Structure 1
Amino acid sequence: MKRFFKKIILFLVILFVASLLLDVIYTAIISHSAERNKIENVIHTSNKKYDVVFMGTSRANNHFVTKVFEDKGFKAFNYGISGSHLFETSLLLKLMVANKYEIKNLILEADLSICNEKRDEGTTARFMPYIHRNEIIKNHYKNEADFYQIYYLPFYRYIKFDNKIGFREVYDVAAKKPTNTLFNKGYYPLISHKKGNMKNDISSLKVIRNKYYEEIKQICKQNNIKLTVVMTPMCQNTKGLDYFDKVHQLYPEIHNFENVITDDKYFASCGHLNDEGAKIYTNYIMNFFYN
């Protein structure tokens, strides 16, 4: 029996050491990368100056054409992240401020994300390699139910978020495999001629006073960033479009531009404009706020 327990202890020690070693290796490799996604790019850069920054979900990433603003003389970048929630947008803005980004204007897409205070797992994964070395990231996640496992168990976060920061990502970083995330000044056009689902149902969404949206407003106020908040177009074959009116009722400062574009030919899917639609929408934003 004593021999058995010794083997168990030895196995656990070996497992712990192996986990610790893998954690160190994965972290060293992934955190060395600076241009594979927008999050690591912000973490690794500082003292950037922008006239206009776009932030939000895929409905920012695919809807704000940076070139439209650049052609008018604005230095701009689209930091929208597909799949993200306001939870991650707030954290990314905190990191920008900490890294001494000078931002004159922030255009924030906040519509469907207002109803949700949860984190997005895919976007969260991108912050995980830095959680031990960055206090802002650590503090942002410290109230999450699995914080202690993520923070204290070696290699746990790489197992949990394997699909984003697992072996494939380590290999791609080590091989210096490029991505297109930072192309087009952060704007990701949807140019496929094959339409996605042109029906949607958002009738179950409940508008809430979102704590992370409130954080973003406070950060902008403290750092003299002019915040403009907008809702972006949704196809008309959507149940529950009154959701956008409810958002505006709770937050009158959020501009309801949901019906600025209604023709299906400008949509790649019900919730996302195609490249042509995004250009029309961005020009509308430009003319509405900056002319």
Structure 2
Amino acid sequence: MKKFLVYMVKILIIIILIAGVLDVAFTYVFMQSKNRGKIETVFNSKSEKYDVIILGSSRANNHFVSQIFEDEGLKSFNYGMSGGHLFEAALMLKLMVERKYVIKNVILEADLNLSSDYNAEGISALFLPYIHNSDVIKKHFESQENFNELYYIPLYRYIKYDTKIGFREVFFTAIHKKTNALDNLGYYPLEKHKNGNMKNNIINLNPLPHNKYYEEIKAICKAHNINLITVMTPMCENVIGIDYFDKVKAAYPEIYNYENVVKENKYFSSCGHMTDEGAKIFTARILKDFFNK
């Protein structure tokens, strides 16, 4: 029995050592990455200067045309993340501040995601390779239930989120295989599809009276003299529960309601996401209203 226990302990030690080595190797690969995604690009950069950055979910990623700002002499990048929540938007801004970015204006898309303050696992996982190398990432995740496992168990985060940061992603990152995430200055244009879902029911959504991560974004901008422009972006004309946007305005009077700036379904790829044509109309309006362009 004693020999068996000694044998099992040795096996356990070997497994831990292998996990530790793989953890270090995986992390090293991500630490060198600059061309696959927005998060690693920010993490592996420093002291960037922007006139305008865009933060939010896919309703930011697909709605703000960065090049339109650039054409007016405003250095811009769309850091919206499809599938992301305000948890990830706040962390992205914190990471930029940690990297000493100089930012004049943040345009934040905050509407549907004000109804929750939990993270989007598939997107927040993309920050985890750097959890031991960034104080802001570590602190941001400390409130999560599985923080101890993510932080202290070697390789755990890579196994748990294998589809996002596992071996396949490590391999593609190592060979510097590019994605389209950084194309078009971060903006992702959509086309009109015949089978696009043009019905959306948000009748049961209600904005939280105090969204933790939205409040964090406001506090960061105030502390670093960043002009924060928070907007609600358009939805198609068939949406059910459109009074949700009135509820947001009542709870957060400082948020600008642009939900009805673009209405016609012909400008939408799906009910919650405009086509490239619709996004250009919307961005032009934002440029005119806030930048006098």
Give the TM-score of the pair, scaled to structure 1: 0.97
Structure 2, unpaired ranges of 5+: none
Corresponding residue for residue 253 of structure 2: 252
Could you tell me whether the CA contact under 8 Å between 1:248 and 1:254 is conserved in 2?
Answer: yes
**2:28 pairs with 1:36:** no
Provide closer, same or farther for how the CA distance between residues 195 and 267 of structure 1 changes in structure 2, counting only shifts above 3 A.
Answer: farther
Corresponding residue for residue 235 of structure 1: 236
Q: Deviations over 1:3-60 (max 9, x none)?
A: 3222221221121111111111111112211221111111111111111111111000
Could you tell me whether the CA contact under 8 Å between 1:62 and 1:189 is conserved in 2?
Answer: yes
Q: Deviations over 1:191-232 (max 9, x none)?
A: 254442111111121211101111111111111111111000
Distance 2:236 2:192 in 1: 17
Corresponding residue for residue 286 of structure 1: 287
Equivalent residue letter for 2:178: P
Corresponding residue for residue 80 of structure 2: 80
Corresponding residue for residue 220 of structure 1: 221
Could you tell me whether the CA contact under 8 Å between 1:244 and 1:258 is conserved in 2?
Answer: yes
Distance 1:132 1:194 in 2: 46
Deviation at 1:283, TM superposition (A): 0.7
Corresponding residue for residue 19 of structure 1: 19
Could you tell me whether the CA contact under 8 Å between 2:125 and 2:165 is conserved in 1?
Answer: yes
Corresponding residue for residue 127 of structure 2: 127
Equivalent residue letter for 1:267: F
Corresponding residue for residue 181 of structure 1: 181
Distance 1:133 1:50 in 2: 24
Could you tell me whether the CA contact under 8 Å between 1:30 and 1:129 is conserved in 2?
Answer: yes
Deviation at 1:259, TM superposition (A): 1.2
Q: Which moved more, 1:193-202 or 1:243-252?
A: 193-202
Could you tell me whether the CA contact under 8 Å between 2:30 and 2:40 is conserved in 1?
Answer: no
Q: Which moved more, 1:28-37 or 1:217-226?
A: 28-37
Distance 1:105 1:255 in 2: 15
Distance 1:193 1:247 in 2: 30
Corresponding residue for residue 201 of structure 2: 201
2:34 match: secondary structure: coil
Could you tell me whether the CA contact under 8 Å between 2:35 and 2:176 is conserved in 1?
Answer: no
Could you tell me whether the CA contact under 8 Å between 2:62 and 2:187 is conserved in 1?
Answer: yes
Could you tell me whether the CA contact under 8 Å between 1:195 and 1:268 is conserved in 2?
Answer: no
Equivalent residue letter for 1:133: N
Deviation at 1:289, TM superposition (A): 1.6
Distance 1:162 1:186 in 2: 25
Corresponding residue for residue 105 of structure 1: 105
Give the TM-score of the pair, scaled to structure 2: 0.97
Q: Which ranges of 4 or more aligned residues in structure 1 deviate by more than 3 Å?
A: 192-195
Equivalent residue letter for 1:68: I
Could you tell me whether the CA contact under 8 Å between 1:78 and 1:185 is conserved in 2?
Answer: yes
Distance 2:143 2:241 in 1: 33
Distance 2:192 2:10 in 1: 55
Could you tell me whether the CA contact under 8 Å between 2:36 and 2:176 is conserved in 1?
Answer: no
1:227 match: secondary structure: strand
Percentage identity across aligned positions? 55
Distance 1:257 1:151 in 2: 40
2:97 match: secondary structure: helix
Deviation at 1:267, TM superposition (A): 0.4
Equivalent residue letter for 1:91: L
1:172 match: secondary structure: helix
Q: Deviations over 1:55-75 (max 9, x none)?
A: 111000000001111111111
Could you tell me whether the CA contact under 8 Å between 1:56 and 1:81 is conserved in 2?
Answer: yes
CA RMSD of aligned residues (A): 1.1
